[in-house]
Chain A
Amino acid sequence: MIRLLDEFRCHFAMLRKHTIGLTRIFHTDHLRRSGSQMDTALISKSSSGSMDSYSRRQTSSLALPHQPSRPPRHDQYEISGLTSFYLVVLGGCSSFVIPELCSNYITCILITLAINAILCVSLNLINGYMGEFSVGHAAFMAIGAYGSAIITVKILPLIPFSLSSFLTFPLMVVAGGLLAALVGIPLALLSFKTRGDYLAIITLAFLMIVKSALENISYVGGPRGFLGIPPLTTLPWVYFWAVVTFWIMRHFIHSKWGRSIIAIREDEIAAEAMGVSTRSAKMMTFVISSFFAGIAGGLFAHQIQFINPSSFDILRSTNILVMVYLGGVASLSGSLVGAGVFTILYQILQPLGVWRMVTMPLLLVLLMIFRPRGIMGYQEWSCFKLKE
């Protein structure tokens, strides 16, 4: 679906190149913005770079590679907000048409792709933009999934009057997301105290605790799993949520908070010294990230119609990590690419059987050695950029 959208976007961009000479104007805009980014990169380089050679501790900080301060690219064509709006609408229309034209399998894959994209972009916020390392993302997904499933199956039937699922479904998904965001708060509080490896461990322990707790709560079926969730997730709905997620993320990253967390990634102490309120930025990031992971969980639960604690294990977290680092760190378009390539590759490699499980991590290791930023690391398609 979204691939289709990109294809169209490409066409539009070509058209623009040949017919309208507007690119120049956008181009200067682009220059101005990347110039300011270069400044931040330079500042952080000068603050940490000189220390590197003396202190091992410094190199051990979890910071990602400094953003390459490359000159702005001349072959990028930007599309206006209005065009992106049309494209989104077009995508929305096709999300209604595709389930009618294509087989259920294709629809199912597209739904999985969109859910993966939401998960991927929400993890990218913590791992890519903030530069922390979270391995507990499956826990937020689990909370969102169980939260929305409980509301659908256990609470909604208690309401005396019946509501159409068109009204209730988004509310349930949002409720699942809010629950996940609520649980994200203590994790954010912990991240004030620890950083780096230890935070990674905390998120891991958190994942194990959530899984273990779900296994012990018989109200949600314990290890037997939660049954009887209605199949409410349809392609238009996931499309809607994916668009909402990407739209909010785009605005978040270009907001005060977004710039703060990028500063935290580059150098937390320098950022604090510059007056960035690191605590509130971290809190905001964790809450938003876990909220969207929860949304993805809710959509997942209503797609599969059955959830059990073992579907939210460390392997699922690893899969999301693969998507993030495959697609590209600190990039919204990268998240989309990562989720797309991963989901499709996973299906194509099906005939390999067990060896599929070898190819995926092998791909990841090779990627880390030869292109640690991922396919789209630190780059953005213009429709994910915000005009100034």
Chain B
Amino acid sequence: MDYIIQQVINAIQLGSIYGLIALGYSLVYGVLSMMNFAHGDLFMLGAFFCLLLEKIIPLPLWLALLLTMLVIGCLGALLERLAYRPIRHAPKVSAIITSLGCGLILENITLAMSPYPRHMPTLFQNSIFHFHGITISSLQIIVIGISLLLMILLDVMIRCTTLGMVIRALAWNRLMVSLLGIPANRIISFTFALGAALGAAAGLLYALTYPVVSSSMGIAIGWKAFIAAVIGGIGNMRGALLGAFILGSTEVMSITMLPSTYRDLIAYSLLLIILIFKPYGILGEPPTQKI
């Protein structure tokens, strides 16, 4: 029983980190219907930026988190301005390839700057609680807490504020929104920044939990989070969260029940099976095709 509860905690922790990254994917897809494959690398940059910040001046966690989100958010907006805006009206394939290329550029520049994995300093005293054979650390609680807080904030923002309404409207019909006098370009930049900031926050939390930071950390987890977003129905915020927790628990479950070598095989097969039966994800809707 303890064993199972422990594994459930593991699954929640994994799922909440996947969720934060998956939200970034979904946010950008919702507005631009474009897959931003550079997102995993923005996540990595978030971790690196925080590391750099802590090397220069040791800041408390909340300040470091805010600063990292701000700077990487700006970087995300810059990326959108330089690389994605010129091709916005080009076919979508160009957008996918550009984002793949941007991701590789960011990753390899970081690699050239810092070829070795770095150690992430701890930002607060971590204490470990044991009850009845279950172990949970204060770090885990903080990570899960911050992730959930950010997710709820985003959901509230999208649903209840004017800005959120504009973003939703933009996702619905970009041309119409522009006709109504709303600066669509600015909103799109903002959405990108928001997505990047979420990714950066996830990167920071991830680096705190697993304190080795390297330039390739964005790839594997980025793809996993992307899959989470797709399972839930890409473009759908709640779907992204659902997908993240499904993926997290499937991975933990497959390790628990089967030899752990089958984990990736099962995770990707799950994706394939879900896409066979629900071709647009669990909560996604098929795009209406007009003739």
A and B touching (Cβ–Cβ under 8 A): yes
Residues of A within 8 A of B (CB): 47, 51, 53-65, 127, 131, 133, 190, 193-194, 196-198, 200-202, 204-206, 208-209, 212-213, 215-216, 269-270, 273, 314, 318, 321, 325, 353-355, 357-358, 360-362, 364-365, 368-369, 372
Contact partners of B112 in chain A: CB under 8 A: 353-355, 357-358
Query: Once bound together, how far apart are the Cα atoms of A62 and B276, in whole Å?
Result: 20
Contact partners of B92 in chain A: CB under 8 A: 60-62, 196-197
Which segment, of B53-61, B121-129, B148-156, B170-178, faces chain A? B170-178
Mark interface residues in B97-136 (1 if CB within 8 Å of A CB, else 0).
1101111110011011001000000000000000000000
B83, B96, B108, B289: the one contacting A369 at CB < 8 Å is B83
Instruction: Beyond the given A65-B90, A369-B87, please list 14 additional residue pairs across the A-B interface where CB-CB is below 8 A.
Output: A56-B173, A58-B290, A62-B93, A64-B91, A131-B93, A190-B276, A197-B33, A201-B271, A212-B264, A354-B115, A362-B105, A364-B100, A365-B83, A369-B86
Contact between B91 and A372 (Cβ–Cβ < 8 Å)? yes
Contact partners of A365 in chain B: CB under 8 A: 83, 98, 101-102, 105
Contact partners of B234 in chain A: CB under 8 A: 197
B255 contacts A by Cβ under 8 Å = no
Known: A208-B268, A369-B87. A198 touches B279 (CB 8 A): yes
Contact partners of B90 in chain A: CB under 8 A: 65, 368, 372
Contact partners of B115 in chain A: CB under 8 A: 354
B94, B104, B105, B276: the one contacting A372 at CB < 8 Å is B94
Main secondary structure on B side of the interface with A = helix
Contact partners of B160 in chain A: CB under 8 A: none
19 chain-A/chain-B pairs, Cβ below 8 angstroms: A55-B290, A57-B287, A60-B287, A64-B91, A127-B93, A133-B96, A194-B275, A194-B280, A198-B279, A202-B275, A206-B272, A208-B223, A212-B262, A216-B262, A318-B104, A361-B100, A364-B101, A368-B94, A372-B94
Query: Once bound together, how far apart are the Cα atoms of A206 and B264, in whole Å?
Result: 11
Query: Once bound together, how far apart are the Cα atoms of A54 and B93, in whole Å?
Result: 21
B269 contacts A by Cβ under 8 Å = yes
B30 → chain A closest CB, angstroms: 12
Contact between B101 and A56 (Cβ–Cβ < 8 Å)? no
Chain B: which residue is nearest A353 at the CB level? B112
Contact between A318 and B108 (Cβ–Cβ < 8 Å)? no
B288 contacts A by Cβ under 8 Å = yes
B233 → chain A closest CB, angstroms: 10
B87, B97, B111: the one contacting A321 at CB < 8 Å is B97
B216 → chain A closest CB, angstroms: 11
Contact between B175 and A53 (Cβ–Cβ < 8 Å)? yes
Contact partners of A59 in chain B: CB under 8 A: 89
Contact partners of B279 in chain A: CB under 8 A: 193-194, 198
Residues of B within 8 A of A (CB): 33, 35, 83, 86-87, 89-94, 96-98, 100-105, 108-109, 111-112, 115, 172-175, 219, 223, 226-227, 230, 234, 261-262, 264-265, 268-269, 271-272, 275-276, 279-280, 287-291
A106 → chain B closest CB, angstroms: 28
Contact between A357 and B269 (Cβ–Cβ < 8 Å)? no
Contact partners of A56 in chain B: CB under 8 A: 33, 172-175
Known: A215-B261, A365-B83. A357 touches B108 (CB 8 A): yes
Contact between B100 and A202 (Cβ–Cβ < 8 Å)? no
Contact between A360 and B104 (Cβ–Cβ < 8 Å)? yes
Contact between B276 and A193 (Cβ–Cβ < 8 Å)? yes
Chain B: which residue is nearest A132 at the CB level? B93
B15 → chain A closest CB, angstroms: 19
Query: Once bound together, how far apart are the Cα atoms of A168 and B244, in whole Å?
Result: 49
Chain A: which residue is nearest B35 at the CB level? A197
Chain B: which residue is nearest A197 at the CB level? B35
Chain B: which residue is nearest A204 at the CB level? B223
Known: A365-B105, A369-B86. A213 touches B91 (CB 8 A): no
Contact between A205 and B291 (Cβ–Cβ < 8 Å)? no
Contact between A209 and B105 (Cβ–Cβ < 8 Å)? no
Known: A56-B175, A208-B264. A318 touches B100 (CB 8 A): yes
Closest 4 CB pairs of A and B: A361-B104, A361-B101, A357-B108, A364-B101
**Looking at A62, A204, A205, A212, which has the most chain B CB atoms within 10 Å of its CB?**
A205
Contact partners of A57 in chain B: CB under 8 A: 287-290
Contact between B275 and A212 (Cβ–Cβ < 8 Å)? no
Chain B: which residue is nearest A362 at the CB level? B105
Query: Once bound together, how far apart are the Cα atoms of A355 and B272, in whole Å?
Result: 36
A350 → chain B closest CB, angstroms: 15
Contact between A64 and B289 (Cβ–Cβ < 8 Å)? no
Query: Once bound together, how far apart are the Cα atoms of A61 and B33, in whole Å?
Result: 10
Query: Once bound together, how far apart are the Cα atoms of A369 and B226, in whole Å?
Result: 25
B276 → chain A closest CB, angstroms: 7
Contact partners of B104 in chain A: CB under 8 A: 318, 357-358, 360-361
Chain B: which residue is nearest A273 at the CB level? B291
Chain A: which residue is nearest B229 at the CB level? A201
A156 → chain B closest CB, angstroms: 29
